[in-house]
């Protein structure tokens, strides 16, 4: 299961003894104990007007979305409630999921000419209202699944575009060959999903690298939590600092790499290191992050040459090789990618 909320955070909430957060603690325990199942074209017309008034028509892939409602049960897929040609339902979770899937689809097509998760127009499926007070959202190999949160620590997860894009990006990673969900390759898996999560949001709002927040999961906490988001690519370790949640444990440099058997070897923790590398690269290049830095990361992921057990050094070397191939040996892009990895203490393999 590729979930947005790491198990160490849920375990922290589950251990809280304060009466005011008894409901949240119970919800976290139930979420940890749940065992969700894991499983592994449409076209549309787009019109654009040039500066001279010329109207250009072109066809482009269109998403094929289906949203289901689990009705508070932990059974998938649930009851179908909205499809591609259906109107909005008035249920915020349903409609937010529907819109978020579409925005993510458009972002991958517009930035990378990728037609859905698999590149071949795969349907986009999602289930909302999963479980009772379920404190997570996850990709199960087939669909996006969203809990409603406990209302004390977490709100519903469909309101965060970065959460939706992050989880769908896990599907892209799998379709590209996958990265083993353990240790450094698992942290890369999480990091790449975070990278595409923020890039989708930035593209949707037309933000440059300097304008963006670089936050993942902004808005998923209630007002009772002292925190901006779940993770920060710009400053790992600063997303939250709360009496209940503790302090964001992500490192931003190899000097602080966390060695642990928990969380599949710290996949949600050590992902802060490659996250910061991407942020350093994107901000050094400036402009829209998906155009150059994002393109390098995307081409590296989808090259077909990346080992499923790639570590940070291997992935870093691969991004430098892609930047050189795309932009030139002595290009600004290649220099920025190399400097970004050096900035987080990752040595290039080979």
We report the CATH number of the domain holding residue 38 as 1.10.390.10
Tens digit of pLDDT for each residue in 324-347?
Answer: 999 999 999 999 999 999 999 999
Q: Which two tokens stand for residue 313?
A: 């050094």
Residue 226 lies in a domain: yes
Question: How much of the chain exceeds pLDDT 70, in percent?
Answer: 92
Residue 69 lies in a domain: yes
Residue 348 lies in a domain: no
Q: pLDDT band at 44, cuts 50/70/90?
A: low
Q: pLDDT band at 52, cuts 50/70/90?
A: low
Split into its structural domains, the chain has a count of 1
Residue 349 lies in a domain: no
Q: Is 84 one of the catalytic residues?
A: no
Residue 188 lies in a domain: yes
* Domain containing residue 224: 2-343
**Above 80 in pLDDT, residue 74?**
yes
pLDDT mean over 19-23: 78
Annotated active-site residue in 96, 129, 166, 167: 167
Residue 289 lies in a domain: yes
The predicted pLDDT at position 1 comes to: 59
Q: Report the predicted TM-score, pTM, of the whole model to 2 decimal places.
A: 0.87
**Above 50 in pLDDT, residue 39?**
no
Tens digit of pLDDT for each residue in 115-150?
Answer: 999 999 999 999 999 999 999 999 999 999 999 999
The predicted pLDDT at position 162 comes to: 98
Annotated active-site residue in 129, 166, 170, 268: 268
**Above 50 in pLDDT, residue 41?**
no
The predicted pLDDT at position 40 comes to: 43
Residue 223 lies in a domain: yes
Residue 350 lies in a domain: no
Q: Is 152 one of the catalytic residues?
A: no
């Amino acid at each position: 299961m590729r979930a947005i909320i790491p198990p160490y955070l849920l375990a922290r909430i589950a251990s809280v003894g304060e009466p005011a957060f008894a409901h949240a603690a119970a919800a976290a325990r139930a979420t940890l104990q749940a065992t969700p199942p894991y499983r592994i074209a449409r076209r549309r017309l787009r019109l654009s007007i040039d500066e001279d008034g010329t109207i250009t028509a072109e066809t482009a892939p269109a998403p094929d979305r289906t949203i289901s409602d689990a009705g508070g049960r932990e059974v998938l897929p649930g009851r179908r409630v909205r499809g591609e040609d259906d109107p909005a339902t008035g249920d915020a979770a349903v409609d937010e999921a529907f819109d978020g899937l579409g925005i993510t689809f458009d972002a991958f097509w517009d930035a990378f000419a990728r037609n859905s998760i698999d590149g071949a127009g795969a349907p986009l499926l999602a289930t909302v209202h999963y479980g009772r007070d379920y404190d997570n959202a996850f990709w199960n190999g087939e669909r996006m699944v969203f809990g409603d949160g406990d209302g004390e620590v977490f709100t519903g997860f469909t309101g965060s575009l970065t959460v939706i894009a992050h989880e769908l990006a896990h599907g892209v990673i799998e379709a590209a060959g996958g990265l083993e969900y353990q240790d450094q390759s698992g942290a890369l898996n999480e990091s790449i999903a975070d990278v595409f999560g923020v890039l989708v949001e930035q593209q949707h709002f037309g933000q440059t690298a300097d304008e963006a927040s670089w936050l993942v999961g902004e808005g998923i906490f209630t007002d009772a939590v002292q925190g901006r988001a779940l993770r920060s690519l710009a400053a790992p370790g600063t997303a939250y600092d709360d009496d209940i949640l503790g302090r964001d444990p992500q490192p931003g440099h190899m000097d602080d790499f966390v060695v642990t058997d928990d969380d599949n070897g710290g996949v949600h923790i050590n992902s802060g290191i490659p996250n910061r590398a991407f942020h350093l690269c994107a901000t050094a290049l400036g402009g829209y992050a998906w155009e150059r830095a994002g393109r390098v990361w995307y081409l590296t992921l989808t090259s077909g040459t990346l080992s499923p057990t790639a570590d940070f050094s291997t992935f870093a070397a691969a991004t430098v090789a892609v930047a050189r191939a795309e932009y030139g040996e002595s290009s600004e892009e290649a220099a920025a990618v190399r400097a970004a990895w050096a900035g987080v203490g990752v040595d290039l393999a080979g």
